[in-house]
Amino acid sequence: MTVASTPELEADRQNLIALITDEAVFHGDFTLSSGKKATYYVDMRRLTLDHRAAPAIGRIMLDLIGEIDGVVAVGGLTLGADPIANAVLHESVRAGTPLDAFVVRKEPKDHGRGRQIEGADVAGKRVVVVEDTSTTGQSALKAVEVLRREGAEPVAVAVIVDRKTGARAAVEEAGLQWLAAIDLDDLGLAPQ
């Protein structure tokens, strides 16, 4: 279990846990993006795009990655990472530690400059991949693969909710630090 670095940030984290539990955990039969079956679904987009949660998400994630030296930008595979990266960008400016954001497209654009990474120039720079939830880590690792191909140095994957289903091991096996703000214990859920 992660605890935020200040009482104020821990209060933000506890409030976010309550919002997730009340409004973003759905019970039923679901197929996850990994293809795995689950009896609950944590729909973080309901909150990463919600005015009550997004500022706290920015603060919590900024705190989570705060100990990593030399990071200049955050982002990840579109769509899940986009609102998180933007929340971190805004909170980092407010905190006086500005970070840029980037978006990794699933495929390169077939027009214009043909870019697969939009936003901050990441070539030669240390970056953190962010994600809302992670089951196998494959979305984050796809972003890492694209970032490395473009000359960036991804150093960590930071998720809001760790489903505790193998993503951490996959990310660490790829040589990256794994960080999670909230895990299933915090939400009173069992791994599936």
Which residues are part of a known binding site for 5-phospho-alpha-D-ribose 1-diphosphate?
105-106, 109, 111, 131-139
Chain-centroid distance, C-alpha 52: 18
- Residue positions forming the annotated binding site for orotate: 135, 163
- CA distances, 118 to each of 36, 46, 74, 106, 135 (Å): 30, 24, 12, 11, 25
For residue 80, give both structure tokens. Answer: 């899940």
- Residue positions forming the annotated binding site: 105-106, 109, 111, 131-139, 163
Burial class (CB in 10 A: 0-12, 13-18, 19+), 167: buried
Residue closest to 4 by CA, chosen among 57, 56, 84, 63? 63
- Report whether 95 contacts 150 (CB < 8 A): no
